Amino acid sequence: MKNSGSKALWAEIVEEYRKKNPKSEAFFHSVLKSQVGGGSHNLRLFSPFPFYDSYCSGSKVRDIDGNTYIDFWQGHFSNILGHNPQIVRDALIEYFQKGQGLITGFPHQYQQELSELILSRCSADKIRFTTSGTLATMYAVMLAKSFTNRSVVLKIGGGWHGAQPYTLKGISSYKNGFNKVESAGLPYELKDNIITTRFNDCQDLKDKFEKNGDRIACLIIEPFIGAGGFIFGEKEYLEKAKQLTKKYGALLIFDEVVSGFRFHAGFLQSLYEINPDMTVLGKSIGGGMPLSAVAGRGEILSLCDTKTNSNRRVKFEGGTFSAHPSALLSGLTFLKYLIKDEGKIYPKINKMGELVRKKIEEIFIRNGFNVKCTGVNESMGINSSIVGVHFLREKVDHLVSPDEVWNEKVCNFEMREKIFRLAMINKGFNTFHGYGAISYAHTKEEIHASLDAVECIASNWKKIPDKIDKTIRLW
């Protein structure tokens, strides 16, 4: 931490957290002996140590020290109905009581029902399931490479598509742009075969296509960028992406792992009226179980069919747990519920998101800090239940791209992901990327209580100016 004042503040926040979490701290140190870094997902292993949950239900999580938190992380933003929703649990319990639910190795009829449900809501005529968003984006890129017989992947600087080789460049390491390969162990030539472009920048996209168009197999893009800052793609920009991919013979892949069923009971592509060539699905489609899919034009997806000529065939074979029967049932139950109650669920959670965005900006500005919230598409009037909170060092009217969110000169990353986060945890709110995702299980009272916590933190920080990074104070 560069600023020594912030260091003192961090030390105080850590101290309070440690006092409240002695069992989690001891547990963390004990698991370090056997588990790499203390666990199996880096984002869960926040500093100084994670709390370990003992019970999760609806909006709440209880940890092994007996603390209860209102959770806005919600299963990596999968849990639109909150933790362990009863409808999904009941369906799974009934399934297990019938003596079924574990892997059998046979294709199950639920697979067809879920396929039809998904295909009726996105621009695709074929689908194949797998187990994680990571694998699904990898297969989508492989299909694009085979279909176009080209080698270059164009991705967004700041786009996260899981830790798969073809997209591990330009994720969160920003230095005059996103140009770094962010993993060791990759084939050497990958570094020249991944090109990044700036989100929401039509000119940069055009330039990249003009320069490399005949080599680009696909543009993979999140229409609502998640880890890149919770920012919507502008309609004009995504239309440009469609036009340019078509013009240059590349494929357009929409990664809707986060955006699928998050903003309405369907995919973002239908709100934008843009048809990608392929769509990648994950998170919510499994209703809390590991399920993902690639959906797309039949002629592309058929490249993984065994009937395809072996030179073109993509080894998207399926794994032992692909289309796991319990994941299919849980996804089907969950999505059907979201569709049935769409009119109740989305207006409620989107309205809460709107309130939170407005209030958090207001609270911080009133207390002397420059803060901007993301998670709304104003030009299209799309509200959302997702809220990003960014501590600004530079004046910007709207955050439009990860090039701002991950640029230390524009946004204070540490304030968002570390200091504010732990301060909110100490107040009983588990946030992510500043705030996170509101579920249907969250109550108005819980949302207001979270805003009271923000008020308390901001007004306390106002009183201790020497401990707060000067650059985020009002200019």
Ligand X SMILES: Cc1ncc(COP(=O)(O)O)c(C=O)c1O
Binding stretches for ligand X (CB under 6 A): 76, 132-134, 137, 160-162, 222, 226-227, 255, 257-258, 282, 292
Judged by beta carbon, residue 42 or residue 112, the one nearer ligand X is 42
196 pairs with which residues across the strands?
155
- Nearest distance from C-beta of residue 224 to ligand X, angstroms: 9
Strand order in the sheet with 68-71: 53-57, 60-63, 68-71, 429-430
* Residue 19 dihedral angles phi and psi, to the nearest 5°: -60, -35
CA–CA distance, 174 with 357 (Å, rounded to integer): 26
Judged by beta carbon, residue 257 or residue 303, the one nearer ligand X is 257
Q: Which among 133, 170, 69, 181 has a CA at the least distance from the CA of 432?
A: 69
Judged by beta carbon, residue 145 or residue 467, the one nearer ligand X is 145
- Nearest distance from C-beta of residue 76 to ligand X, angstroms: 6
Judged by beta carbon, residue 160 or residue 461, the one nearer ligand X is 160
- Nearest distance from C-beta of residue 114 to ligand X, angstroms: 17
Judged by beta carbon, residue 42 or residue 100, the one nearer ligand X is 42
Judged by beta carbon, residue 280 or residue 424, the one nearer ligand X is 280
Judged by beta carbon, residue 24 or residue 439, the one nearer ligand X is 439
Q: What is the CA radius of gyration of the chain?
A: 22
CA–CA distance, 216 with 150 (Å, rounded to integer): 6
CA–CA distance, 200 with 267 (Å, rounded to integer): 19
Residue facing ligand X at closest CB distance: 133
- Nearest distance from C-beta of residue 287 to ligand X, angstroms: 14
- Nearest distance from C-beta of residue 328 to ligand X, angstroms: 16
Assess contact for 321 and 103: CB atoms under 8 A.
yes
Judged by beta carbon, residue 133 or residue 375, the one nearer ligand X is 133
CA–CA distance, 174 with 196 (Å, rounded to integer): 12
Judged by beta carbon, residue 6 or residue 279, the one nearer ligand X is 279
- Nearest distance from C-beta of residue 20 to ligand X, angstroms: 28
Q: How long a stretch of residues is the chain? A: 475
- Nearest distance from C-beta of residue 185 to ligand X, angstroms: 18
Query: Distance between alpha carbon 46 and the CA centroid of its chain, in Å?
Result: 17
- Nearest distance from C-beta of residue 452 to ligand X, angstroms: 30
- Nearest distance from C-beta of residue 132 to ligand X, angstroms: 4
Q: How many other C-beta atoms lie within 10 A of the C-beta of residue 12? A: 14
- Nearest distance from C-beta of residue 77 to ligand X, angstroms: 8
Judged by beta carbon, residue 132 or residue 279, the one nearer ligand X is 132
